[in-house]
Amino acid sequence: MTDKTYPVIEVFGPTIQGEGAMAGRPTHFIRMGGCDYRCHWCDTDIAVLPEKVREEQTRLTAVEIVNQIQDLPKGPKWVTISGGNPALHQLDLLVIDLHRNQFKVAVETQGSMWKPWLNLVDQLTISPKPPSSKMNTAKNLQLFEGFMGLMMTQYPMGARVCLKIPVFDEVDYEHAIGIHQQWSQIPFYFSVVTKMGGLYGDFSGGEIDTRDTLLDRYKWLAERVAGDARAGDTVAIPQLHALIWGHGRGF
């Protein structure tokens, strides 16, 4: 059982979480390979496109992953498991091993597929994808409703869960508000989409965001949220990691 291996793309840290409820908090990261989505502006195709995942992955057991975390410089109390979509995998052993090593565990997933092991984690960020992802939004909303229904009825996680929706434009914003209104009891974070070419290259028209274009988009979002009574008690935070380091591997 413990020699089961997982497709790991990167293990890195210490760094900070750039978005959502954990924004600014020191953490290590485990990036799992494999994804059921193909978001147009995805910034980690190495964890998404099957040929790249095959090329980039290292198959590691839970114990080997935790050993790699322990070999990183000390600092963060948190380990964040992201992807790709980590909920594609059965990661209960990994979470238990991280807890055994005194780490708190955060997970980021798009909320397309519930797994009972998600109930073990200390912070679950559910990040449904907006229309600018150019995915089938209606179908993805159905998957999200299924995920939320299971979580709320069978695995109520209380304060350990939040919603985080990346927003590029007004269409995305209205989509996000709709989800917030439906799940208003759950802490809600707006994030800002970063243009960096995209998986399929044409989303950005070849443009790559700079600090200034990112902050201008955040300015629009912050003013939109602040002036909208429907946004109520939500939070709007830019991608702090993109502002600090730009986009690339290892952060």
For the CB of residue 227, give the shortest distance to its own copies in the complex, in Å. Answer: 5
Pairing mode of beta strands 188-192, 235-236 = parallel
For the CB of residue 48, give the shortest distance to its own copies in the complex, in Å. Answer: 26
For the CB of residue 117, give the shortest distance to its own copies in the complex, in Å. Answer: 23
Pairing mode of beta strands 5-16, 161-167 = unpaired
* C-beta closer to its own copies: residue 28 or 195: 28
For the CB of residue 1, give the shortest distance to its own copies in the complex, in Å. Answer: 32
* C-beta closer to its own copies: residue 73 or 205: 73
* C-beta closer to its own copies: residue 149 or 232: 232
* Residues of this chain that bind its own copies (CB under 8 A): 13-16, 23-27, 73-78, 104, 189-190, 211-212, 215, 218-219, 222, 225-229, 231-238, 240, 243-245
For the CB of residue 190, give the shortest distance to its own copies in the complex, in Å. Answer: 8
For the CB of residue 123, give the shortest distance to its own copies in the complex, in Å. Answer: 11
* C-beta closer to its own copies: residue 208 or 244: 244
* C-beta closer to its own copies: residue 96 or 235: 235
* C-beta closer to its own copies: residue 93 or 95: 95
